[in-house]
Structure 1
Amino acid sequence: MKSTLYIAFALTILCSSFTCKKENKTVIHTIKNRETSIDRDSIISFSKQFIGISYLYAGNDPKKGFDCSGFVNYVFKHFNVSVPRSSSGYKNLGPAKKAEDFKLGDVLVFYGYKDKSIIGHVGIICEANGMHSKFIHASSGKAGSVTISDLDSDHYSKRYYKCVDVLPK
């Protein structure tokens, strides 16, 4: 009887001091890493599932449609990253990146196509190659939907304002 109690007591101490506590620490650590580290490829994979969704002024819902900033906002919100809801909100957001430092998931900011004094469009880099990058965005132009475009096309290279990294460091 004494030996049975002794074994039960020893097993209880071993379980509580090694297995249980270490498992809890591991789980907490893993969750913490997920919150602070966002895989840029995941952002692009997630955003590409919306290719073809119709453009809708002031839209931010894949069931109804997106405007450019609504699309960018929707994508980053999925990853718990807060970004402006309006394209004009990107004007003073973060420092501009050099073209050679562009990365997947960075946000490209453009002037309006009629007025070069205001910010009028945003998109997410999905293929980083400096000023020859490609970006995914909700276009009100010919495509009229979420599409991928070339930054070095005449239409966008002339309107380019800056590129910013919105992901947590």
Structure 2
Amino acid sequence: MKPYLSVFFFILFSCVALTANAAHKPKNNSAVKDKGANSTVNTAEVCADDILYFAETLIGTRYRTAAANPLYGFDCSGFVSYVFKNFNFAVPRSSCEFISVGEKIKLEDALPGDIILFTGTSKKSRRIGHIGILVSNQNSEVTFIHSTSGKEHGVTITAMDDRYKRRFVQIIRLLKQNDEPQTATL
């Protein structure tokens, strides 16, 4: 009877995994196509709203070290790479490798969808150890979505407080639409 249970749980787990992956695809997104064998996504057409909408569907997913799967959890770089890879961006898996991708942007010029890099929690090291995706940057108030091992212990949106300001390293821009001049709206 035990072999049948193993097969049953394997099939059950496979169905749950397929359902979870389908649930995390963006809805009503004309710029993003299903990633079938013959389809491609033009990353130049992906906008910050697409990225943030998808990222926000993952809020509440638990933190798990070295994980990049919504079924198990995310560490910070696993979360960011999972979100951007969903839109066919070629991004690294490790947070420290993000410093060498995209375009470096000043914090005051950062826009939603840009990637924000921080040091780790060690005060002795300036090595990149945490990353997130910028949600808002208005009136010197920065918020970002990330997977944290802190008290939220998962994917959440956080305001950049003094603790994060001390750890801030760089903003990285991958979204081509963020390079276009911004117009003020009234």
Q: Given the two structures, how large is their TM-score scaled by the length of structure 1?
A: 0.75
Instruction: Find the aligned partners of 1:95 and 1:63 in 2 and give their Cα distance.
Output: 31
Q: Which residue of the partner structure matches residue 134 of structure 2?
A: 125
Q: Extract unaligned runs of 5+ from structure 2.
A: 1-38, 178-186
**Counterpart selection for 1:139 from 132, 148, 151:** 148
Q: Which residue of the partner structure matches residue 113 of structure 1?
A: 121
Name the structure with the higher helix share.
Answer: 1
Q: Kindly report structure 1 stretches of 4+ aligned residues shifted beyond 2 Å.
A: 31-36, 91-96, 128-131
Q: Which residue of the partner structure matches residue 14 of structure 1?
A: none
Contact kept, 8 Å, 2:58 with 2:70, in 1: the verdict is yes
Q: Which residue of the partner structure matches residue 163 of structure 1?
A: 171
Partner amino acid for 1:90? F
Indicate how the Cα distance of structure 1 residues 65 and 32 shifts in structure 2: closer, same or farther if over 3 A, else same: closer
CA RMSD of aligned residues (A): 2.0
Indicate how the Cα distance of structure 1 residues 33 and 57 shifts in structure 2: closer, same or farther if over 3 A, else same: closer
Partner amino acid for 1:109? L
Task: Please give the secondary structure, in 1, of the residue aligned with 2:158.
Answer: strand
Task: Please give the secondary structure, in 2, of the residue aligned with 1:74.
Answer: helix
Contact kept, 8 Å, 2:52 with 2:135, in 1: the verdict is yes
Q: Which residue of the partner structure matches residue 8 of structure 1?
A: none
Bigger Rg, which one: 1
Contact kept, 8 Å, 1:135 with 1:148, in 2: the verdict is yes
* Sequence identity (%): 38
Q: Extract unaligned runs of 5+ from structure 1.
A: 1-30
Q: Which residue of the partner structure matches residue 109 of structure 2?
A: 101
